[in-house]
A and B are shown apart, each in its own frame.
Chain A
Amino acid sequence: MKQGNKINYTTGLFPGSVISLFIILQLIAFGLKAQGEKKADIRLNFELKDSMNICKAMVTSEGKPVKEVDIHFYVKRLFSLLPIGKAVKTDDNGESNTIFPLDLPGDKNGNILVIAKIEEDENYGNAEAQAEIKWGTLSNPENDHWANRSLSASREKAPTYLIVASNLIIMVIWGTIFFVFLQVFRIRKESSLIKKNK
């Protein structure tokens, strides 16, 4: 190998070393952070007071109540979680309360799934608890016209007028197109017959 083509290994390794060192330091920092986070437990209690649905979240860590931690309350909906009010901080007893609306649609038995969360807390990280309670309004699929034909129903329940009208239009248009195709093939057939006769 010629002298001029020698690779400078020291320079070549330098960026790699820096990146590796950076990754190691990041891993150490992450580990230390994870070690610093304590585990929090959330327990949910429900109570009906003065015609109000109150959800209580009790937060403890290592058997002791956790103060001043934000608790987010949600209700599970079809695609995502519906937030109930703003986050509420726990008091000295580790308790956080929120009032739930009375008109939340529940399942066919009136049940809703309540979720309480601690989200990205600097001391406790993330924690979650969920419980089912009969606080929802009854929703009966039969009453929601799911069984009837409508524009908002499933594909099998498309309105009859829509099925008839659309199929009629499709048949007329595509029928004409097929007729045109047929004429084009007849042109070819006629031409080939003339050729044969010649």
Chain B
Amino acid sequence: MENTQQQTTAHPAATGHQSEIIRQELLAPIGKYSPLNRLWIGFLSVIVLWGIAIYARQCIWGLGTTAMRNYVSWGLYISTFVFFIGISHSGTLVSAILRITNKEWRRPITRSAELLTWVSLLFGGMMPIIDMGRPERIPNLILFGRLQSPLVWDIICIGTYFTGSTIFLYLPMIPDIAICRDRLSGNASRFRKWIYRKLSLGWKDTAANWHKLEKTMKIMTIIIMPIAVSVHTVVGYIFAMTLRPGWNSTVFGPYFVAGALYSGSAAVVLVMVAFRKMYHLEKYITLKQFNYMGQLVLALTIIYAYFNVNEYAVPAYKMESAEGFLLKELFQGRYATIFWTLQFGTVLFPAFILAFPKGRTPLFASIACIIIVIGAWVKRYIIVIPTLLHPFMPIQKVPVTWAEYFPNWVEWSITIAALAGIFLVITLFAKIFPIISVWEVEEGQEFERKKKMVDAMIEKENAQQLQPQSN
């Protein structure tokens, strides 16, 4: 115990006047609700409650209340599931990859990226349950599921990723929650005080505490990356391992991972823009972050475009019967407008914007990223629906109208409520916890200060060495 007490030294970054300013500025939005905030939270809550009511109605009356029938049994819900799981890759990419490669500019954006991962996984995981129609049968997937089935792999992977993401979000929050506990408890509600007390784990800012935290963060940073890749690979496998035209592809695993990284990183840019504007964080989320994130999104968009070419050009060259019929529908038929708009409008056009330095400023980057995110959602729809409408064997003795699908108001209500739920959780989170990691920014500034000192010393030494030579 004595040993622990001897190690009671504060984290080097947690001292100084500069730190005090950072803490004041980053903790400022917590617990404060402007009328506009209240209106926004109320608006989102109404949509979420409406969605819950409609879901209850769907549970009572069955999936027949949706537009899904025998042909399309994975409609808007599963398209949204794939989209949300894709968005959940944002945290892994920005936080884990940039952490492990020691990119200093990541510091102000890691928290929002990790939060986006956690929330989109939470709501993404709900979508297949909503699509099941009989939620009480969920335990059957584990109790009677076959290990050979990609659906069982998906449950295992998403469950693991959700647990891992929760820890990955929570670990770097511990010192910040302790700061909130020590500085904000005076004015906070009893609920918030309780949250700070419980979640800070009695954090004492000791060297031993920091050592354990850094060790666990390092482990989680390494382990979360293969878990994240496995999740979207398995989501891809769910489609690729089903005998359907359009899904019979060996690149579906990496294609889905690339698509997830592309949409997820674009979503991070949008969250950055929103928080920067709402909480006046221009000093922390700077043009540098937008420039680097813009470059990252651009690189991922190009990789995604490359996968798109592979995904469609190879089967299009062969035009094998059932596959060919589906591809004709996509290239020239009823989905042609959406398909080509997606390829040119939501992949190549945003890449064009982001290719220029001016395109990576907050305004233009947000325009490009909105297009990417909407495009990614519609793309999931295009992957799921046309294939289901073109099975190898036609489904017999069903009304002709069942061979058409467009989501009805029940599906839109529940899906939009899920989206509103994501916004609501993010908004409430930012009112309880700092949305920018305080200690990481402090550490970054300390690192910058020391780097400048070292640079100045080296420069001074160089100058001294050069002086006698010139003399």
Contact = CB atoms under 8 A, between A and B. Distances in A.
Nearest to A191: B202
A197 B163 contact: no
A21 interface: no
A61 interface: no
Given A158-B146, A174-B160, A193 B219 contact: no
B164 A194 contact: no
Contacts of A151: 148
A8 interface: no
Residue among A152, A158, A188 with most chain B CB within 10 A: A188
Interface string B107-147: 00000000000000000000000000000000000001111
Contact of A195 (B160, B202, B213): B202
Interface residues of A, number: 32
Given A176-B223, A190-B208, A163 B147 contact: yes
B163 to A, nearest CB: 6
Given A158-B148, A179-B219, A173 B227 contact: yes
Interface in A153-184: 153-155, 158-159, 162-163, 166, 170, 173-174, 176-177, 179-181, 183-184
A76 to B, nearest CB: 14
Interface stretch (B1-9, B95-103, B357-365): B1-9
Residue among B145, B146, B206 with most chain A CB within 10 A: B146
Contacts of B449: none
Contacts of A184: 167, 171, 201, 216
B361 to A, nearest CB: 39
A177 B224 CA distance: 10
Given A190-B209, A191-B203, A183 B163 contact: no
Contacts of A166: 147, 153, 156
B201 A187 contact: yes
Interface in B162-181: 163-164, 167, 171, 174
Contact of A177 (B164, B209, B212, B213): B164
Residue among A163, A173, A197 with most chain B CB within 10 A: A173
Given A188-B201, A190-B209, A193-B1, A180 B219 contact: yes
B334 interface: no
A3 interface: no
B460 interface: no
A186 interface: yes
Contacts of A152: 148
B167 A190 contact: no
A187 B213 contact: yes
Contact of A162 (B148, B156, B220): B148
Contacts of B396: 80, 83
A146 to B, nearest CB: 14
Nearest to A80: B396
A192 interface: yes
A80 B215 CA distance: 58
A163 B1 CA distance: 45
B206 A194 contact: yes
A183 to B, nearest CB: 4
Contacts of A187: 174, 201, 203, 209, 212-213
Contact of B144 (A83, A155, A180): A155
A194 B204 contact: yes
A192 B200 CA distance: 12
A155 B174 contact: no
Residue among B5, B148, B163, B213 with most chain A CB within 10 A: B148
A197 B171 contact: no
B146 A177 contact: no
Residue among A163, A177, A195 with most chain B CB within 10 A: A177
A60 B268 CA distance: 73
Nearest to A156: B146
B123 to A, nearest CB: 22
Given A191-B201, A191-B204, A173 B147 contact: no
Nearest to A159: B148
A101 B92 CA distance: 57
Contacts of A174: 160
A176 B209 contact: no
Contacts of B146: 154-155, 158
Contacts of A177: 160, 163-164, 167, 223
Nearest to B178: A191
Nearest to B146: A155
B160 A155 contact: no
Nearest to A155: B146
A192 B203 CA distance: 9
A103 to B, nearest CB: 18
B219 A188 contact: no
Residue among A159, A162, A183, A195 with most chain B CB within 10 A: A183
Given A183-B212, A190-B208, A176 B219 contact: yes
19 contacts: A151-B148, A153-B148, A158-B147, A159-B148, A166-B153, A177-B160, A179-B219, A180-B216, A180-B220, A181-B167, A183-B215, A184-B167, A186-B212, A187-B213, A190-B208, A191-B201, A192-B202, A193-B1, A197-B5
Given A153-B148, A155-B148, A158-B147, 9 more contacts: A155-B146, A158-B146, A159-B148, A162-B147, A173-B160, A177-B160, A180-B220, A193-B1, A194-B4
Interface of B: 1, 4-5, 8, 144-148, 153, 156, 160, 163-164, 167, 171, 174, 201-204, 206, 208-209, 212-213, 215-216, 219-220, 223, 227, 396
Shortest 9 CB-CB distances between A and B: which pairs? A191-B202, A188-B201, A155-B146, A158-B147, A183-B216, A191-B204, A151-B148, A180-B216, A187-B212
